[in-house]
Amino acid sequence: MQLTELVSPKSISASLQANSKKRLLERMGELLHEDHPELDEHAAFHSLFERERLGSTGIGHGVALPHGRIKGLKNAIGAFAILQNEMDYDAVDQQPVQMAFALLVPEEAGEEHLQILATLARLFDQEDLRQRLLHAQNETELYQTLTG
């Protein structure tokens, strides 16, 4: 799966403002809704929030990978944001989060869901990519860096 299948320039923010994990998940739900107007942003938030309650999706290196399942969704969708201010996220390495990639998959998604998460984790494990994302000047640069 290519990242261009998950995100578009509309689902990316170069300076997302959120002062709590809950607010970050709400904002990610809003970004997902902006790119997919048929998606209920409250359902998106609820799915991300409920998964987060099971355990932190902070994967380390300043990256959060919140994800969830949505009934009626036909394909996996994503949103990406650089945070205006880093935040505590209870990440596995206890480091604050600077960026987040939210992933929603169909309720019945199985192996594909896990494969996408693994691909994203490998992608964000690359120090060079993380630095280029943090230094991107706008959403267009972010999109090109992320999907390039």
Contact (CB, 8 A) for 143 and 12 = yes
Q: Which residues are catalytic?
A: 67
> CB count, 10 Å around CB of 129?
14
Confidence of residue 85 (pLDDT cuts 50, 70, 90): very high
What percent of the chain has pLDDT above 90?
Answer: 95
pLDDT of amino acid 2: 86
Say whether pLDDT at 1 is over 80.
Answer: no
What is the chain's mean pLDDT, rounded?
96
Residues with Cβ within 8 Å of 69's Cβ and at least 6 positions away in sequence, in order, are 47, 104, 105, 106, 107, 109, 113
The CATH number for 3-147, chosen from 3.30.2320.80, 3.40.930.10, 2.40.170.20, 2.90.10.10, is 3.40.930.10
What percent of the chain has pLDDT above 70?
Answer: 100
Query: Which segments of the chain are extended strands (E)?
Result: 12-16, 58-60, 63-64, 67-70, 77-87, 97-106
Three-state SS at 35 = helix
pLDDT of amino acid 50: 97
Once rounded to an integer, what is the mean pLDDT over residues 85-91?
Answer: 96
Once rounded to an integer, what is the mean pLDDT over residues 75-91?
Answer: 97
pLDDT of amino acid 109: 87
Confidence of residue 110 (pLDDT cuts 50, 70, 90): confident
Confidence of residue 49 (pLDDT cuts 50, 70, 90): very high
